[in-house]
Structure 1
Amino acid sequence: MTPDSPSIVRLNIGGKKFCTTLDTLTQREPDSMLAAMFSGRHTVCQDPGKGYIFVDRDGEHFRHILNWLRDGVIPNLKDSDYAELIREAEYYQLLGLIEGINTASSKRKEEDETSELTRRDIIKCIQSERVKFRGVNLSGLDLSKLDLSYVDFSHASLKDVFFSRANLQCAKFRDVDAEGSIFHNATLRECEFTGANLRGALLAGANLQSANLQDACLIDCSFCGADLRSAHLQSADLTNANLEGANLEGANLKGAKLTNANLKGANLQRAYLRHVNLRETDLEGARLDGANLLGAIR
């Protein structure tokens, strides 16, 4: 691979074929073996006429490695699968993935000690109507893919909870502590997060249409590709938040803090940005048609 090669990379990992980009292989873990292979400093061999680079490793787990490199999400696996994935991560020298897997495994082992309820308890509870977990400690639980719509989590401790792909439509998260929780691709339409602490939470790909995030702490949050149309973000702290490619059409950002926020390619059409300080905000490629920018600092 030379610097002039195309950015698309085709890989044959133990007989399984993958297609990715040069950026994916090199950016998240720049000190890894994969990054070194495709840095342009080394020559890699391709199958003649096929264009695939062969690596003699387990192809079953490589999709998890690619997903980690793409979005930084640790997969939800059985302990035995985690052990196999760590072996592959060690081969590719992916130190961030190894650390993330070890952290996830430890949290699962400590689940009974750190939370008052288990995943099974939650499933039993949500079979009844108008479920409330107000003030309950659910930290570290895996609640991914569950139907938790309309559940009231207000004032609960939800640190590091896995809500990936869960249905949380109209759920209430008022004043919760959900620092570091994962809402990747979750449905959060019309949810209430007023005053919530979501520092460092992952909400990439989440549907947050008309969600209420007023006064929420969203520092270091990832909203990459999230749907925030008509969301209420008044006075929310979005310092260092990543909103690249997010859809904020019609969103209300009055009084929001956007210091060092990444809004590259974001849709801010008809968004309310009056008197918002955008001076330290990355708006490269953002769409601002019809946005209310009266008094905004740019």
Structure 2
Amino acid sequence: MMRRGLLWASTNPWLSTRLPQRRFVRRAVRKFMPGETLEEALVEADRLGKLGVPTLVTMLGENVDTAEETRATVAEYTRAMELAEEMGLDVEVSIKPTHLGLDADPEVALENVRELASAAEGRGTLWIDMEGSLYIEPTLSLFRAARREHENVGLCLQSYLRRTAEDLESLIELGPRIRLVKGAYAEPPEIAFPDKRDVDASYLALGRRLMDHMADGGGGFLGLGTHDPAMIEPLTEYAGSAGLDGGRFEIEMLYGIGRREQRKLTRHGTPLRVLISYGVAWFPWYMRRLAERPANVWFVARSMFR
């Protein structure tokens, strides 16, 4: 019930306008993002890099309406890659298709992705996030079109969707770069598994399927986007048995979540990358992060009374 309420809040325009003005909300969100500017994000990327942890950065925002807005997004991500390179940082970028115009014009979104993929050449993977289920087909089409020209494009897949196993099979011969997550959008039970056990089973099966493909000589890369030890431990062992090193496999965790687990992974030499989010449009993303881990709600509650 709490998860459903938080996901509803993530789409509510009134709350997205009012709650970010509350001081306790702004204080609590600092647990999950270092600030609203690229410079603040890269300061943390630099700090983590000195600890041997590479990073991903993403500017929060989605569902933009105009070509001018998409051009501003492209310019910001290009600036992020250039500034990270100047600072000598191992930083990749992760983009949302609707932040690049997928709603208004898929061709505009594709041109924007192509431009960013070109800018990312030699700088790591350009990751394409997966959004709600309405965007699955256009996002898959976007990825396939970009992937024909740029091998450094990666795609996020969500294990809670019933269709994802088929989607992975349709992509696997491309040798895809896949970030596997559980999923954080409100979806009906006919589209997404409502039971956590089924989501977890799907996650493990999808991870093993791609690892098997890579171990058999197929191309690809797997980023495990999870903080769940029940996913991390067996799949890390499976990667080891498949002979996959940090060039083919890594754990990807969110900034501010699971810091103890992040330190443990680093000590054990497990490939780890941390995703740092920034930007002013953080409210929907923040609500989804709370819905993923209801324990975080108690952190917010404590912040209210400090």
**TM-score, normalised by the number of residues in structure 2:** 0.32
Whose strand fraction is larger, Structure 1's or Structure 2's?
2
The alignment's TM-score, normalised by the length of structure 1, stands at 0.32
- Higher relative CO (CA 8 A, sep ≥ 6), structure 1 or 2? 2
Which structure is larger by alpha-carbon Rg, 1 or 2? 1
